[in-house]
Structure 1
Amino acid sequence: MLDQPIDKPWKKVSLLILGLILTATGLALLGGGLRLLMLGGSIYFAPAGLALTVSGVLTILRKPAGALLYLATFVVTVLWALSTSAFALWPLISDLMAPAVLAVAVLLLMPAYKFKPGRSYKAPRIAAGVLTLGIIATFVGAFQTQWIVKPQDNPDLASGAGVSAPADENWAVWGGNAEGTRFSSLTQLTPENVAQLEPAWTYRTGEVPVGGEGHIVVPLQVDGMLYGCTHTSRLFAVDSETGEEIWTFDPDAEGNIFPRCRGVIYYDANADQSPAERDGDVEALDVDALCSRRIISSTVDARLVAVDALTGEPCAEFGENGIFDLRNGMGEIKTGYYFQTSSPTVGRGLIVIGGWVHDNAEVGEPSGVIRAFDARTAELVWAWDLGDPSITLLPPPGESYSRGTPNVWSTMSYDDTLGLVYLPVGNATPDFWGGHRSDAANEYSSSIVALNIETGREAWHFQTTHHDLWDYDVASQPVLYDAPDGNGGTIPAVYQPTKRGHIFALNRETGEPIVPVEERPVPTDGVDNETYSPTQPYSTFPSFGTEELSENRMWGATLLDQLYCRVRFKGARYEGDFTPLTTDPTIIYPGWSGGMNWGSVSINEDEGIMIVNDIRLPIISRLIERETYDEMAESGDTHGGAAAMAGTPYGLQQDRFMSPLGIPCQEPPFGTLSAVNLNTNDVLWSKPLGTIKDAGPLGIATGINIPIGLPTLGGSVNTASGLVFMAGTQDYYIRALDVHTGEELWKGRLPVGGETSPMTYVSPESGRQFVVITVGGNRATPIRGDYIMAFALPE
């Protein structure tokens, strides 16, 4: 039976709306497509935009050619999308979802066009039904994990060996142990029962961070007491069974611009004799004496604080009544320009500490000197000033440690057998200009350095980026493990993750690579008054998020924002991960967020499996000549990630490479979790981590659990039972996964994001295993929290 005509007003109204949508979309694609063609980009968008514009006008006029032209354009779009996407889901969604929805509308409204009377519309309706089913299937598919590397069957695993004992009932060190493997020997929680985890208690610090502040501490737990710090440097202890507060200590810290505290030190003077005790300068403490066990932390105004672990009372013998000023010998320190954001390292009675400096503000910022202090008295034992190695304690009177040298702001690792402490070294300030850097700064920036913990003298160093001009400072804690050597033995290894997405595997005794590192040529044509390294080191260990960008990898929720990203990409300079910055927009990928950031990696020591999480957020930057930048700054025209870089020929403008909807411009995932077999150095599995439930376009939470994979800031924890615990995503969850397969076994809902690493312990009171995570919010949203949450099996 032939379809009967619909009412004329509905025909006009429906096709008017559809035609306006097609015309507006077409004009946007045409304008952007012409711009893209001028930049040497894809030929698809301009003709497609012209076709949609004509189709829209004809549709408004109810001309049948409007429908036919759109459908023909849709077929071409399908062919184009398949040829450029390699049938991957996320590119196809960007290319085809919106065109398919419009195609369904065109097909269903064909009776409203002025076709000849008596025409049958059965075929268009069937086609619309098929397309609708395809749209639904694609939407359902978006909820399924899009594996990057699917889990392997029967992998060739072989365990190496931990350097010292892993974390057990206690979690007494920031990284689980001094080697930073984040591995726990606990087995109470298993893949079989972890789904039963439920909230056990919540502690609130009373300090909700705002703006750039960060509540990201990884607490410690020792013998029933859980210790931590707030972003204002207030220390606290709570009952690890109930979360009830036991004591707090406020050092009244003030004056900073990037306040956070990632962790504290637990120091037992009875188990680790300090130099002052060995030299007979102080007597050994009685087991139950005040401060025989102490909590030591740095503050946001550059002081060291030591308090009794049981009472929170200041340790009188430490500095001046429990406080030591780290500014001694540092020279001028502007407010907020120097303090330590990460947990110091302790070994052989020494506190080894570096410092964070204010990125990209100016040249000659406070020194990156590394110092060691007696854990009993805070007396300076040694200093390593890479700008002047002759300074081994305080600098001469009236002078300071070498200013502007590369610093260590992240957490160090320590091998007590070798007596070496491993430093993840950053850059000489500012990060994006190096024409002023000294030979020493060029030699040590973005390196891992091994120092003798008793003397502070260098054993070796290895550079991960030469003459770093991209802020690829080493942010991750080095991880120490005796790796399997393939012949039944082990190699003393240090694994150094980097913001570049590369992981360097070195012999921790010598600094020589145990997995080959290749020097590859990179571009050197930047600005005239800068120098560039002609080659850069590339590790052949598995890397993550390092595939080069291309125009076809640009992405968006629709073709329109994808086109915007394509135009920006083609209009910027990009020649790989070491593209030199110039006064033209330049894309840096991986960006300065990572790759891998301060959360580092974890290792299942029993099976030799490394867990890696990463971030994939390109940055678009440009240098601005000094006079122009200063004029812009004076008039308030700088914005976003602008940085003065005072004392250099340039200022800096930088922003994340995003679409107008606030979505990264490259295709998903934007963050992943992966496992590496350390016996074969093969990737066991790799998957996107994180959904858009609490994130979305324009920063609006979608409420949808689509596992697109979001940036992961924080780290993971491994347990001997085969579990991986991980938070750090932009959705409000902590997850448990199977270390062998990557399968998600449980997720616990958090009140806000948990942008840090979890930890686990056994309460001596109940014998229950707890998993604890600090929940302070994440940088993707303005919502913050002051929570520390514990999960456990039901009693």
Structure 2
Amino acid sequence: MRFFGVLLALIGLVLAVGGIQLVTLGGSWYYLLAGAALLLSGILLLLRHKLGAWLFGITALATVVWAVAEVGLDFWKLVPRLAPFLVLGFVLALLLPQLAGMRARRSAYVLASVLGVGLVAGAFAIFQPHGVIHTAAAPKPLGPATATPSDWQHYGRTPAGTRFAPFDQINRDNVKQLEVAWTYRTGEIAEGASEFQNTPMQIGDTVFVCTPLNKVVALDADTGAERWKFDPKVEDRKTWNRCRGLGYYEPAKVSQPYSFEEDAAWHAAHPAGSPVCASRVVMTTIDARLLQIDAKTGELCQDFGQGGVVDLTVGMGKVDYDNVLWYYLTSAPTVVGNMVIIGGWTFDGRSVDEPSGVVRAFSADSGELIWAWDMGQPEITKLPPEGGSYSRSTPNVWSTPAFDEDLGLVYLPLGNQQPDFWGGNRPETTEKHSSAVVALDIRTGRERWTFQTVHHDIWDYDIASQPALYDIPDGKGQTIPALVQLTKRGQIFLLDRRDGTPIAEVEERAVPQTVAAGDWVAKTQPYSVGMPALGAEPLTEADMWGATFFDQLVCRIAFRKLNYEGEFTAPSTKPTLIYPGYYGGFNWGSAAIDENRGYLFLNDIRIPQVVTLIPHENVDESKLVAGHGVGSTYPMHGTPFVIDHAAFNSPLGIPCNAPPWGVFAAVDLESRELMWQVPAGTVEDAVVNGIRASLPVPLGMPTLGSGVVTASGLVFYGATQDYYMRALDVATGEELWKSRMPVGGQATPMSYVSPKTGRQYVVMAAGGARQSPDRGDYVIAYALPKTQ
């Protein structure tokens, strides 16, 4: 009992001291009061006084009342508030017979039994999903499917970017029988600066995969056997190695060819039906090249560009800084008719003088430049004048466009103007395009409409997700050609893709006006109030979390010290909380849509970051940690500041905000209501401070890659932090199947039906989950047993 009394007194002392600090910061009085009560209770128990037990019991009951009043019945928020009292109360109940004057031994053991049952129940509940949301609406009936093989030719399967596979061979009834059909290893482990984020492309009986260092592999669609491998021999500059997707071009099968004067010589040398490469894999590289590769042989197409290569640095000005490229390509090229449209990745936060975000279209036949859209110099429609360059540091399209050939429009998800977190000298010519969806005329590259999702973005809330195109019912028996745009803010904008006007209501709301020296903030910001928002609620002190009440208290104190006035709190010289963080919300994985039923499938990230502006004169820039995001410092040359990035974690290395830290969810695009939400995966393979959790606790973890939806109403997902491929019912969120992978993934799967065997496959690239030390080079295909 004496030992327990000392322990309880020490716990109370720590809580009371921390509680004093929290109160002085304007926070909750609970920790001060509870800490004082536990301190006194511990002293009394040390003296073997039964009042100590009564005081502990009263404090525990008061804690229950306070906890429920503060966070309701949210299980995960209650755990650090109540679990410590449950454990301490159980131990105390076992010790009660030792107290002088306490003769009710049987009652003490009954109390211990009750608390023990509570502990067991709590331990069981930890392994159950919480925060699950389901609507009462009945699922819509499944729509039509096809058994006819069709290609996964674009990053999102079709130009619409919906990731919808119209097959139903794998369905709710047989999905549990899915097994690994074949596995291929690329030989390139995704480690260091590399991440294997590829969604494979399938054309006929061949699957094409690209690695982080741009090796391309052609595989047999039924066996995974390697047919050829192409290595462009890019230099690994250890910066940001990714190849999320490939393009495909077959001149003889272009649905809507465009005629250009630049191609006249090429067409004269290539009569119909006689190209050197009848079918072509199109790839952009991390050393800024555009390549075409013969899809049958794996050789460069010599009639494209210069020996199969187009140099994408032409017209860009300076792109190489001390052997680090500040411009290259990480996302799939967009093949539209007989054109290839590309944007580009630029190095976040380096300078006000970074490479241009120009978007260009090249002939898919000859490699000639067809048009350029330079938002800073709209008069430049091709190459810049001799000696000049495209506008520096303009917003870029590092993600993937979608396009509608019938409307003649390509839809660009734009990044924010560089550098990310200070914008005092941004020109008006490009300000309107930052973090906006822009529609360009496919043929000419001229701007048709623009919709901005963040005004004067100084939070790195650039649009990472590919737009998704889907025709939604208008309630009058017709449909509206819609564009669904996910954002890092957790907002879902639903626009008419003909002119960019909102279909679901968008409201401009006033935001905080405090800003760093020399910068400014917009008076209002757009909120898509006509659609559900995920993870977008402002954080409060009550949202702070921890594995114990100690680190929860530390997180509460840290939260109170931060500069935070909500989502649009401008970065400051005081540490500033950004939430939703610059990882999302919704990132490059993008949306998946059940095209038959109009269900939008989503997955998100709910991890805030802390950023701090530091005057240049206060920093030894030779010691800056280069890189991206958390753990790095952006130099932001040409501005008054550098900006430091940190995680908002507890002393145990766990996020300070309460879980879930990522969810799977679905929205009905017709009713515009959230249908369901479930935590995204478990902590089973999470490693914190070198320790692997090894327990399948479904907290809901951050996710990057998206899902693929099938006509049978399944959504497949393999980019959780734990190492599983899953199938969910897209109408309910119920997990119907999962299979352990050798390592985790952070890519989007795809699905196809083999033209040879008629088997439906689901394929996933698994190179290692983000934040996991386990890395790999796996391409895994799942299918039903052949007997099925």
TM over 0.5, yes or no?
yes
Aligned to 1:509: 498
Aligned to 2:179: 198
How far has the Cα of 1:499 moved from its partner?
Answer: 0.2
User: Match of 1:681, as an amino acid?
Assistant: R
Aligned to 1:557: 547
Contact 2:707 2:717 in 1 (8 A): yes
1:777 counterpart (760, 768, 780): 768
2:755 counterpart (764, 767, 778): 764
How far has the Cα of 1:527 moved from its partner?
Answer: 1.9
Contact 1:629 1:650 in 2 (8 A): no
Matched length: 775
How far has the Cα of 1:156 moved from its partner?
Answer: 7.0
1:228 counterpart (209, 216, 222): 209
Q: Does 1:695 align with 2:677?
A: no
Contact 2:402 2:467 in 1 (8 A): yes
User: Match of 2:151, as an amino acid?
Assistant: N
Q: Does 1:152 align with 2:136?
A: yes
Structure 2 Cα separation of the partners of residues 65 and 168 of structure 1: 77
Q: Does 1:19 align with 2:8?
A: no
Aligned to 1:7: none
Aligned to 2:655: 664
Structure 1 Cα separation of the partners of residues 588 and 625 of structure 2: 36
Structure 2 Cα separation of the partners of residues 167 and 408 of structure 1: 34
- Partner secondary structure for residue 459 of structure 1: strand
* 1:636-651 equivalent positions in 2, closer than 5 A: 640-651=631-642
- Partner secondary structure for residue 580 of structure 1: coil
Aligned to 1:311: 297
Contact 1:699 1:780 in 2 (8 A): no
Aligned to 2:778: 787
Structure 1 Cα separation of the partners of residues 98 and 397 of structure 2: 69
2:104 counterpart (120, 134, 139): 120
Identify unmatched segments of 5+ residues in structure 2: none
Structure 1 Cα separation of the partners of residues 542 and 295 of structure 2: 56
* 1:23-34 equivalent positions in 2, closer than 5 A: 23-34=9-20
- Partner secondary structure for residue 281 of structure 1: helix
Cα 1:731–1:158 shift into 2, 3 Å: closer
Contact 1:585 1:621 in 2 (8 A): yes
Deviates more, 1:185-194 or 1:75-84: 75-84
* 1:98-177 equivalent positions in 2, closer than 5 A: 98-113=84-99, 115-116=100-101, 119-154=103-138, 169-177=150-158
Contact 2:301 2:307 in 1 (8 A): yes
1:365 counterpart (354, 358, 364): 354
User: Match of 2:412, as an amino acid?
Assistant: L
- Partner secondary structure for residue 756 of structure 1: coil
Aligned to 2:266: 282
Q: Does 1:265 align with 2:233?
A: no
Aligned to 2:473: 484
* 1:235-246 equivalent positions in 2, closer than 5 A: 235-246=216-227
- Partner secondary structure for residue 658 of structure 1: coil
Structure 1 Cα separation of the partners of residues 768 and 78 of structure 2: 32
How far has the Cα of 1:697 moved from its partner?
Answer: 4.7
Contact 1:256 1:337 in 2 (8 A): no
Cα 1:483–1:635 shift into 2, 3 Å: closer
How far has the Cα of 1:84 moved from its partner?
Answer: 1.1
Cα 1:166–1:780 shift into 2, 3 Å: farther
Deviates more, 1:283-292 or 1:182-191: 283-292
**Per-residue CA shift, 1:231-254, capped at 9, x if unaligned?**
111111111111111111111111
1:498 counterpart (467, 487, 491): 487
- Partner secondary structure for residue 483 of structure 2: strand
Deviates more, 1:693-702 or 1:369-378: 693-702
User: Match of 2:73, as an amino acid?
Assistant: F
Cα 1:52–1:60 shift into 2, 3 Å: same
Cα 1:588–1:280 shift into 2, 3 Å: same
- Partner secondary structure for residue 785 of structure 1: coil
Structure 2 Cα separation of the partners of residues 226 and 312 of structure 1: 13
**Per-residue CA shift, 1:616-666, capped at 9, x if unaligned?**
011111211121134694799x99132111110011112121112222211
Cα 1:634–1:152 shift into 2, 3 Å: closer
User: Match of 2:266, as an amino acid?
Assistant: V
1:752 counterpart (736, 743, 748): 743
Structure 2 Cα separation of the partners of residues 775 and 639 of structure 1: 24
How far has the Cα of 1:128 moved from its partner?
Answer: 1.5
Aligned to 2:611: 621
Aligned to 1:64: 50
Aligned to 2:199: 218
Identity among equivalent pairs (%): 47
User: Match of 1:727, as an amino acid?
Assistant: G
Aligned to 2:446: 457
* 1:578-617 equivalent positions in 2, closer than 5 A: 578-617=568-607
**Per-residue CA shift, 1:147-194, capped at 9, x if unaligned?**
4421434257898x99xx999532111101011011011110001101
Structure 1 Cα separation of the partners of residues 758 and 196 of structure 2: 28
Contact 2:541 2:560 in 1 (8 A): yes
**Per-residue CA shift, 1:93-133, capped at 9, x if unaligned?**
121112211110111112334x13x7122212111111121
Structure 2 Cα separation of the partners of residues 192 and 125 of structure 1: 49
Structure 2 Cα separation of the partners of residues 257 and 434 of structure 1: 25
Structure 2 Cα separation of the partners of residues 538 and 639 of structure 1: 27
Cα 1:594–1:548 shift into 2, 3 Å: same
How far has the Cα of 1:336 moved from its partner?
Answer: 2.4
Q: Does 1:567 align with 2:557?
A: yes
Cα 1:256–1:382 shift into 2, 3 Å: farther
Aligned to 1:706: 697
User: Match of 1:660, as an amino acid?
Assistant: P
- Partner secondary structure for residue 678 of structure 2: strand
Normalising by structure 1, we get a TM-score of 0.94
Deviates more, 1:251-260 or 1:428-437: 251-260
Cα 1:598–1:705 shift into 2, 3 Å: same
Structure 1 Cα separation of the partners of residues 299 and 261 of structure 2: 21
Contact 1:319 1:378 in 2 (8 A): yes
RMSD: 2.2
Contact 1:365 1:429 in 2 (8 A): yes
Structure 1 Cα separation of the partners of residues 506 and 630 of structure 2: 39
Q: Does 1:385 align with 2:412?
A: no
* 1:382-461 equivalent positions in 2, closer than 5 A: 382-461=371-450
Structure 1 Cα separation of the partners of residues 489 and 667 of structure 2: 17
User: Match of 1:320, as an amino acid?
Assistant: Q
Contact 1:158 1:484 in 2 (8 A): no
Cα 1:154–1:639 shift into 2, 3 Å: closer
How far has the Cα of 1:27 moved from its partner?
Answer: 2.6
Contact 2:621 2:635 in 1 (8 A): no
Contact 1:269 1:285 in 2 (8 A): no
1:208 counterpart (181, 186, 189): 189
How far has the Cα of 1:703 moved from its partner?
Answer: 2.1
How far has the Cα of 1:203 moved from its partner?
Answer: 0.8
Deviates more, 1:133-142 or 1:767-776: 133-142
Aligned to 1:41: 27
How far has the Cα of 1:80 moved from its partner?
Answer: 1.3
How far has the Cα of 1:374 moved from its partner?
Answer: 0.6
Contact 1:211 1:782 in 2 (8 A): no
Identify unmatched segments of 5+ residues in structure 1: 1-10
1:326 counterpart (293, 306, 312): 312
**Per-residue CA shift, 1:289-343, capped at 9, x if unaligned?**
5411011111111111111001101100111211111000111112221111100
**Per-residue CA shift, 1:661-710, capped at 9, x if unaligned?**
22221111111111111111111111111111112654633222222111
Normalising by structure 2, we get a TM-score of 0.95
How far has the Cα of 1:140 moved from its partner?
Answer: 1.8
